[in-house]
Amino acid sequence: MSTIAENRGEPVTPVTPAVDTAGVAALLERGRTLTTPVLRAAVARLAPPMDAVAAYHFGWIDAEGRPTAADSGKAIRPALALISAEGAGAPAGTGIPGAVAVELVHNFSLLHDDLMDGDEQRRHRDTVWKVHGPAQAILVGDALFALAGEILLELGTVEAGRATRRLTAATLRLIDGQAQDIAYEHRERVSVAECLEMEGNKTGALLACAASIGAVLGGADDRTADTLERYGHHLGLAFQAVDDLLGIWGDPVATGKQAWSDLRQRKKSLPVVAALADDGPAARKLADLLAADAKKTDAEFMDFDEAEFAARAALIEQAGGRDWTSEEARRQHATAVAALSDVDLPERVRAELTALADFVVVRQR
Amino acid sequence: MSTIAENRGEPVTPVTPAVDTAGVAALLERGRTLTTPVLRAAVARLAPPMDAVAAYHFGWIDAEGRPTAADSGKAIRPALALISAEGAGAPAGTGIPGAVAVELVHNFSLLHDDLMDGDEQRRHRDTVWKVHGPAQAILVGDALFALAGEILLELGTVEAGRATRRLTAATLRLIDGQAQDIAYEHRERVSVAECLEMEGNKTGALLACAASIGAVLGGADDRTADTLERYGHHLGLAFQAVDDLLGIWGDPVATGKQAWSDLRQRKKSLPVVAALADDGPAARKLADLLAADAKKTDAEFMDFDEAEFAARAALIEQAGGRDWTSEEARRQHATAVAALSDVDLPERVRAELTALADFVVVRQR
């Protein structure tokens, strides 16, 4: 058992491309620097108290309204949207409204999902519904979604209309994915295909939109936009596969989540469904344990000690769920990078999108 | 006391314009007939179970999934959107995507508001969160909002982009209005001005959008669209004033709500805030009663018998709250109709918009 427990803190890297760490950090930093002031100005348009509730959610103020410098996420989406504009030969700045709109939709979904899922913590802080109540989580989520459309449409261009349409389609898929996620929680068996479809909707669609929206605003044709979407979709699936690995074997200090967090929430994530698809003794034992777990109340489940989660993690690993998910991340990474060859892109843009894809699969949080 | 109790069923009509009942019925029916199939096709795009939850909300199926012909609302907004298209010289059908999008936004807000307000009944049926749970009410609301954008933007025209932008701005005001409504519930005093601003956001903004969106889709210039918005805004305020009268003195059989429903919910509606703005003995007695009510638990409040609500209604009436609200409905009606003279409109369109305004202030439900 101790090997597994120690193992928790080990890198979950499924593949080790030579990541240009400084380059990626600079891209993420540029995305954050150019996007945040516009995002803050958009949020400041909201009437009180929604502006403050949103500012709390984004980590700009604490629960008492004092300015903070909390962790506001990895900011991969803004970085993608700016590079995407350069993919169409436009300046990075052309992608800013797209980056802001995608961030607004992403955070609208976080506000609503945290409430629906009853999650009390996000990015090391209490969630909005926990601090400001369910009504504010619903209202401010709605307002961020509406703001996303406003930010794009006030550009008043044909390109902005196309970008909004793509963002709306991605949002509908995001909502579908959350609906599937909720439905699967109550199902005894979920297939690997169903899990991948859900993750494609819940994570892939918006990353695909982030990767193409800058190009759309920059006047790219549909073929270029669709190719960048395909890159973003597979990047999203790689991202989610790594997230699912981190959700079981991630280091709590790095992820900001409890150890074994996905197992505590009885999530049917990729390593779990892949393990259950096996027919060996570990998979059968895991299936029996999870079936018994499903009958437990949340309170009974809370009483579990670390060893019980470690035992489940070990069975998932023995049944091949960990390896399969690592390989899946590698496959999706490769497909994402390969998609970039289907269209003419400036060489620097291709290199940057590849570096971001590399980063996504080696990240530890 | 008995006079007040009997009074409850009496018409609350603040003004009696000569309503062309048959003409208005035909306009509402046309709106419903042209819009419903497109609305149903839009909702059918949602993945299960969201399509069924939405169909339940719209009154197309019952909680067991059997087709029903439940009351799906007065359908004033679709009727307005179609006449609005004709206001720009376009065929009524040009307004259909606008009518559908406005209905989708209206129903998104109902789904979320019912959950936030804890309302268990709407249109004589259990609300969605009550039947399908809070998560479905949130998710399906989100999905209807996203669908509204999709329905408009897939038209792919410049006009559709402008229409979506106006709808988005209206939606942000709608959300502001709900935030104000929630905030006011916890405040001891709300001014008449604050109440009117809240109602302008919560009801006026979307009716304003319904009244202009068809014209925008039909290629109207901003001046025409803005004038139709102004008509719709004041129509919305008249509509809400009548709603506030019906919420206290309406006939439960007609409204589908409990007798004295707004008083049961301790709503600070227009008759209440107008009465409290008075400084006579009735207003002071009302203020004392409502201050004591505010300290009661919901359970204690539920134990109230009819006579206690009747007493509050009588004090509101004695302090002038009922008359003031009736006059306000008349004022807003007059302002709405007068706005129609600010721009060139086909004579039939002007007559139809006037007839709808007349209907709004004489309706009994």
Split at pLDDT 50, 70, 90, the class of A19 is confident
Asked, for residue B3, whether it belongs to a domain, the answer is: no
CB contact under 8 A, A138 and B154: no
CB contact under 8 A, A47 and B180: yes
Buried residues in B294-332 as b, exposed as e (16+ CB within 10 A) = eeeeeeeeeebeeeebbbbbbbbbbbbbbebbbebbbbb
Split at pLDDT 50, 70, 90, the class of A18 is low
Asked, for residue B9, whether it belongs to a domain, the answer is: no
- Which of A132, A159, A168, A194 is the mutation pick for testing B, counting most B CBs within 10 A? A168
Integer Cα distance of B357 and B339 in angstroms: 12
pTM of the model: 0.93
Return the higher-pLDDT residue of A296 and B224: B224
Residue A305 has pLDDT above 70, yes or no: yes
Chain A nearest C-alpha distance from B121 (Å): 18
CB contact under 8 A, A149 and B143: no
* The token pair that represents A155 in the structure block: 């550009």
> Which of chain A's residues have a Cβ under 8 Å away from the Cβ of B172?
143, 146-147, 150
Please calculate the CA angle A341-A343-A348 and round it to the nearest 5 degrees. Answer: 70
Residue A7 has pLDDT above 50, yes or no: no
Integer Cα distance of A312 and A324 in angstroms: 16
Chain B nearest C-alpha distance from A183 (Å): 9
Q: Which pLDDT score, from 0 to 100, does residue B12 have?
A: 53
CB contact under 8 A, A150 and B160: no
Mean pLDDT, to the nearest integer, of A336-360? 96
Q: Which pLDDT score, from 0 to 100, does residue A3 have?
A: 36
Mean pLDDT, to the nearest integer, of A341-365? 93
Buried residues in A258-278 as b, exposed as e (16+ CB within 10 A) = ebbbbbbbebbbbbbbbbbbb
Q: Which pLDDT score, from 0 to 100, does residue A16 have?
A: 57
Asked, for residue A69, whether it belongs to a domain, the answer is: yes
Split at pLDDT 50, 70, 90, the class of A8 is very low
Split at pLDDT 50, 70, 90, the class of A266 is confident
CB contact under 8 A, B146 and A171: yes
Length of chain A as a residue count:
365
Task: State which residues form the domain around A163.
Answer: 18-362
Q: Which pLDDT score, from 0 to 100, does residue B345 have?
A: 95
Q: Which pLDDT score, from 0 to 100, does residue B260 have?
A: 87
Q: What interface predicted TM-score (ipTM) does this complex get?
A: 0.92
Least Cα distance to A364 among A258, A272, A275, A250 occurs for: A250
Q: What is the dihedral of CA A108, A110, A113, A117, to 10 degrees?
A: -160
Integer Cα distance of A38 and A44 in angstroms: 10
Q: Which pLDDT score, from 0 to 100, does residue A6 have?
A: 41
Asked, for residue B151, whether it belongs to a domain, the answer is: yes
> Which of chain B's residues have a Cβ under 8 Å away from the Cβ of A145?
142, 145-146
CA distances to B84, B164, B220 from B216, rounded to whole Å, are 8, 10, 5
Total structural domains within chain B: 1
Under 8 Å between Cβ of A44 and A144: no
Closest residue to A175, CB basis, from B115, B142, B160: B142
Mean pLDDT, to the nearest integer, of A344-363? 94
Closest residue to A149, CB basis, from B164, B179, B182: B164
Residue A15 has pLDDT above 60, yes or no: no
Element (H, E) at A70: none
Integer Cα distance of B226 and B276 in angstroms: 34
Asked, for residue B5, whether it belongs to a domain, the answer is: no
Q: Which pLDDT score, from 0 to 100, does residue B342 have?
A: 93
Least Cα distance to A243 among A275, A204, A205 occurs for: A204
The residue in chain A having the minimum alpha-carbon distance to the alpha carbon of residue B118 is: A135
Q: Tokens 């004038």 belong to which residue? A: B227
Q: What is the DSSP letter of B61?
A: B
Cis peptide bond prior to B271, omega within 30° of 0: no
Mean pLDDT, to the nearest integer, of A195-219? 98
Kindly give, in sequence order, each residue whose CB lies less than 8 Å from that of residue A57, ignoring residues fewer than 6 positions away. A107, A110, A111, A128, A140
CB contact under 8 A, B149 and A149: yes
Split at pLDDT 50, 70, 90, the class of A264 is confident
Under 8 Å between Cβ of A251 and A6: no
Integer Cα distance of B30 and A158 in angstroms: 32
Residue A363 has pLDDT above 50, yes or no: yes
Mean pLDDT for all residues in chain A: 92
Q: Tokens 């029996």 belong to which residue? A: A288
Chain A nearest C-alpha distance from B346 (Å): 29
For B228: left if phi > 0, alpha if psi spans -120 to 50, otherwise beta; the answer is alpha
Between strands A121-122 and A125-126, the pairing is antiparallel
Note down pLDDT in tens along chain B; length 365 residues: 333 334 444 545 555 566 788 899 999 999 999 999 999 999 999 999 999 999 999 999 999 999 998 666 789 999 999 999 999 999 999 999 999 999 999 999 999 999 998 888 888 899 999 999 999 999 999 999 999 999 999 999 999 999 999 999 999 999 999 999 999 887 888 999 999 999 999 999 999 999 999 999 999 999 999 999 999 999 999 999 999 999 999 988 887 777 888 898 888 999 999 999 999 999 999 999 999 988 888 788 877 888 999 999 999 999 999 999 999 999 999 999 999 999 999 999 999 999 999 999 988 77
Q: Which pLDDT score, from 0 to 100, does residue B16 have?
A: 57
Domain CATH code at residue A343: 1.10.600.10
Chain A nearest C-alpha distance from B119 (Å): 13
Asked, for residue B44, whether it belongs to a domain, the answer is: yes
Q: Which pLDDT score, from 0 to 100, does residue A17 have?
A: 66
Those residues of chain A whose CB sits closer than 8 Å to some CB in chain B are: 46-47, 49-50, 108, 112, 115-116, 134-135, 138-139, 141-143, 145-147, 149-150, 153-154, 156, 158, 160-161, 164-165, 168-169, 171-172, 175-176, 178-180, 182-183
* The token pair that represents B303 in the structure block: 């134990």
> Which of chain A's residues have a Cβ under 8 Å away from the Cβ of B175?
50, 139, 142-143, 146
Asked, for residue B358, whether it belongs to a domain, the answer is: yes
Mean pLDDT, to the nearest integer, of A182-203? 93
Integer Cα distance of B275 and B169 in angstroms: 32
Under 8 Å between Cβ of A4 and A234: no
Q: Which pLDDT score, from 0 to 100, does residue A300 have?
A: 82
Chain A nearest C-alpha distance from B62 (Å): 21
Asked, for residue A3, whether it belongs to a domain, the answer is: no
The residue in chain A having the minimum alpha-carbon distance to the alpha carbon of residue B135 is: A116
Q: What is the DSSP string of A130-149?
A: HHH-HHHHHHHHHHHHHHHH
